[in-house]
Chains A and B, each alone.
Chain A
């Protein structure tokens, strides 16, 4: 009961000084919102990536030459197929294309006739015949093309080539397909001028997941000039990259956190004469130091919780309803074409705990000494004023 009463008084005391408290809540909220946006966004990107990678091949084999990625001979497939436990082995042709017109990069992918890509099409169909292509939503936007239009790309001999757009990918798949242009495989080989019998890389299906690394080892021994990459490694790389990026941003953000702590300290230290007198009165009429400390504890809790919840809500809305427009440029890096993000909203207690630990702890640490200073106001002071 005592606790509730002191909480009650804390609330009315906060309300009486609402204009002063408003500023600290605003800054606190902003701090939580920025931090929360970073964490929610990177975590969403991570989840999105891992969802996509779930459909990725178990093993990708690249060829290395002079320490660089090189085209791989298609004949390697036959030998790899003979390894026990290995399922389908396919070659892939793909590459990057710099579009001078718009100053952006596209990813060009050659489609195998047998390939069963599970990519949702919003409109049209996958390219089947020569001279057809399907484009991702980013490409469609930046080149202003839709189904039925023509897409002109410049090939390696500096000749313009006309493709007919027969399909555009949906926004849902945009993290994967945004900058993608898909052609029949032969078109791509011809467009890039790839040598006969070579592919960009080879994908390998392995039936038993625990044998992936064994198979990778065998391939490496068979063809020492190759580099097998397991899906797990890709997942880990993505994870590490996203962790690293959000960690980096958080680190940069730490200076803001310090500024926030200083503000909290300042607000807590600079109590008005009126507030000081009020605590003096409380002490004189029978409040103990520990009661005033409890009052300060509740005030801090109310401020932290309010700001924390508000900040989380802002972060949530910012990331999930608006696609984090304020953060994506920093997080996504190199590509000029950004997918429009529409992440699936989620609530993760762990993320909330991390944000809490990063914001509430500094806030409390910077207010504890000022609170104590207020709490030990001499009760006799009011007698002598």
Chain B
């Protein structure tokens, strides 16, 4: 265990977040167990007011949780010099492989938490609380994930022993490296680039189609494409675009670009990617809910905004990753 201010902040912050979410989930469960919207009793009114408490708590908690991902990445980046052979955040993760699990759990929260908030917003807008049960069941699941996250974070940092010799990102994300990470990095860049741009074009085309037509199938296709876009983009950022960003044919680490040396370019990249995927994914998830009368109007209204946001985010993301390819003058297609 390393006593480091960032680690302390993560553990203290996440513990508070967990307490908030547990409390919210507890209140939420009590609310939906005795929920009876047709009753005009005082108890029902109290329950309705409690939904605001749950919303308020969970929204703050989830905002902190999302913020904690950035803090986590910055922290593992800051402590990498404690490990022999580690040159960036990847090294810190390799020093205790649970770190990778933490990263994936946090990414899951990053996508799941906003879904909860959107459900919550609709539930409040509808006026007859059609999603109350769905919302609080999902909250229970989220609580488990947040608890798991804290547990893994503690386990990860507790299991870090600074004397461990780690392979740095050069070894992990270089073509000859073993495992999935190495394979991703080894993907041929020309092919990867093709796949990337084709996916983007398909995604944007479907998005346009959804904007113009109300077909349900298009929404589901878009959701699937959004998931594809997510994985294809991450793979191509690691395998191809990173080389242009670092201007090195052998450097593929996805964490270095969070640093000031690369003008924090990772933030627009991953923020753009996450918004594009998230808002592209939403219409598909909410398609079945259009059957609820009190929601239909609101969903149609919001859907337009989601599609437009997703489109803009996609364009932003694609522009930022393509920029160095077009303008850096580095010729790396051969690698």
* Residue ranges of A at the interface with B (Cβ–Cβ < 8 Å): 38-39, 42, 213, 232, 235-236, 239-240, 243-244, 246-248, 250-251, 254, 257, 289-290, 293, 350-351, 353-355, 357-358, 361-362, 364-365, 368-369, 371-372, 375-376
Contact = CB atoms under 8 A, between A and B. Distances in A.
Given A368-B56, A372-B52, A376-B49, A358 B9 contact: yes
B16 interface: yes
A68 B189 CA distance: 56
Interface stretch (B78-86, B140-148, B180-188, B195-203): B78-86
Interface SS, A side: helix
A244 B49 contact: no
B5 A368 contact: no
B162 interface: yes
Interface residues of B, number: 35
Contacts of A254: 12
The 9 closest A-B pairs by CB, nearest first: A247-B3, A376-B49, A357-B9, A243-B4, A372-B53, A354-B9, A357-B13, A361-B13, A350-B74
Interface string B275-293: 0000000000000000000
A227 to B, nearest CB: 15
Interface stretch (B33-41, B65-73, B228-236): B65-73
Contacts of B10: 357
Contact of B53 (A246, A250, A365, A369): A369
A172 to B, nearest CB: 25
Given A250-B5, A350-B6, A372-B56, 10 more contacts: A240-B82, A243-B5, A246-B5, A254-B12, A290-B124, A351-B5, A357-B10, A365-B19, A368-B57, A371-B56
Contacts of A39: 5
21 contacts: A236-B162, A240-B2, A247-B7, A251-B3, A290-B52, A293-B56, A350-B78, A353-B71, A355-B9, A357-B9, A357-B64, A357-B71, A358-B12, A361-B13, A361-B64, A362-B12, A365-B16, A365-B19, A365-B20, A368-B60, A372-B53
A243 B13 contact: no
Contact of A236 (B4, B20, B52, B81): B81
B8 interface: yes
B188 to A, nearest CB: 29
Contacts of B8: 247, 250-251, 358
A232 B17 CA distance: 37
A353 B12 contact: no
A324 to B, nearest CB: 16
Interface of B: 2-10, 12-13, 16-17, 19-20, 49, 52-53, 56-57, 60, 64, 67-68, 70-71, 74-75, 78-79, 81-82, 84, 124, 162
B81 A235 contact: yes
Contacts of B19: 365
Contacts of B4: 243, 246-247
Contact of A354 (B3, B6, B16, B57): B6
Nearest to B4: A243
B5 A239 contact: no
Nearest to B7: A247
A361 B68 CA distance: 11
Contacts of B17: 361
Contacts of B53: 369, 372, 376
Contacts of B5: 38-39, 42, 243, 246-247, 250, 351, 354, 358
B211 to A, nearest CB: 26
B55 to A, nearest CB: 8
Given A236-B82, A248-B3, A289 B9 contact: no
B52 A375 contact: yes
A213 B85 CA distance: 11
B167 to A, nearest CB: 13
Given A246-B5, A350-B74, A357 B20 contact: no
A239 B82 contact: yes
Contacts of B78: 350
A257 B13 CA distance: 12
Contacts of B56: 293, 368, 371-372
A240 B68 CA distance: 23
A362 B81 contact: no
B195 to A, nearest CB: 35
A372 B3 CA distance: 36
Nearest to A296: B56
Contacts of A358: 5, 8-9, 12-13
Nearest to A294: B56
Contacts of B71: 353-354, 357
Name the residue in A251, A290, A365 with the highest tally of chain B Cβ atoms < 10 Å from its Cβ. Answer: A365
Nearest to A300: B60
Contacts of A372: 52-53, 56-57
A376 B45 CA distance: 10
A371 B9 CA distance: 25
Contacts of B124: 290
Contacts of B79: 243
Nearest to B64: A361
A289 B2 CA distance: 44
Interface centre among B9, B60, B64, B67 (most CB of A within 10 A): B9
Nearest to A354: B9
Contacts of A240: 2, 82, 162
A244 B8 CA distance: 11
A239 B74 CA distance: 16
Contacts of B13: 357-358, 361
Given A39-B5, A240-B2, A232 B12 contact: no
